[in-house]
Amino acid sequence: LAKTTQPISMDSYEGQEVNITCSHNNIATNDYITWYQQFPSQGPRFIIQGYKTKVTNEVASLFIPADRKSSTLSLPRVSLSDTAVYYCLVGSLMDSSYKLIFGSGTRLLVRP
Amino acid sequence: NAGVMQNPRHLVRRRGQEARLRCSPMKGHSHVYWYRQLPEEGLKFMVYLQKENIIDESGMPKERFSAEFPKEGPSILRIQQVVRGDSAAYFCASSPDLAGGRTDTQYFGPGTRLTVL
């Protein structure tokens, strides 16, 4: 499974847009890109998933360039409650075992 | 639709005792995954099960750890003769069946925090 690289931490302020970029140079043809959010003492929560170009849902947008070697999670107008760890994962949905590999994630701190 | 349920939420055991962690997947989900998380680290895959079958246990320690997902009832992660290094948060996730042998997004439970004294 492809290894991902993302910033260890980021700071932002309420109301700003936050973009977290993840590198996955060895992504395979069948791999999807998935982002999870984790609050302290809670399980990871699925945010968004994509394969190429742009995906948008009610929570975030995911931008994936044509070469798919990186992706950017965009959180519009963050609030204090968006303070969490964000994980970028890549993996194939065609495997019989979809084994999620979590890195250390990006710790986002949203300040008032 | 209730989410993934895990119990207990907190479990304290003394060295040498057994720990049993339970996971009830979301309704309609037949795939269960167990992960372990140490403080300040990401989750580490342990085992993937479908009903009555272990599909992938490549992340499970060879000794003392076992998992099952019986036809009826929750999935169980069992740790025998616990040691201090087993102290961690253990998360269960589930996903539904999809056509064509594909798997799908995993949804996580709240976790069980195991403390070994």
Are B4 and A43 inside 8 Å of each other by CB?
yes
pLDDT band at A97 (very low <50, low <70, confident <90, very high): low
Short-list A51, A41, A34, CA closest to A86: A34
Residue from the list B33, B55, B107 with its beta carbon closest to the beta carbon of A46: B107
Q: Do B44 and A102 touch (CB under 8 A)?
A: yes
Cα–Cα dist B32/B5, whole Å: 12
Q: Which residues pair with B23 in a beta bridge?
A: B6, B75
Sheet strand arrangement including A61-64 = A18-23, A70-75, A61-64, A53-56
Highest mean pLDDT among A3-7, A83-87, B25-29, B103-107: A83-87
Q: Is A32:A91 a contact under the CB 8 Å cutoff?
A: yes
What pLDDT is attached to residue B88? Answer: 96
pLDDT > 70? residue A94: no
Residues B82-111: tens digit of each pLDDT: 999 999 999 999 988 766 555 568 899 999
Q: Is B4 on the interface with A (CB under 8 A)?
A: yes
Of A96 and B105, the structure prediction assigns the larger pLDDT to B105
Q: In terms of Cα–Cα distance, which of A73, A15, A34 is closest to B104? A: A34
Q: How confident is the model at residue B28 (pLDDT cuts 50, 70, 90)?
A: confident
Span B29-88, pLDDT tens digits: 889 999 999 988 889 999 999 988 998 999 999 999 999 999 899 999 999 999 999 999
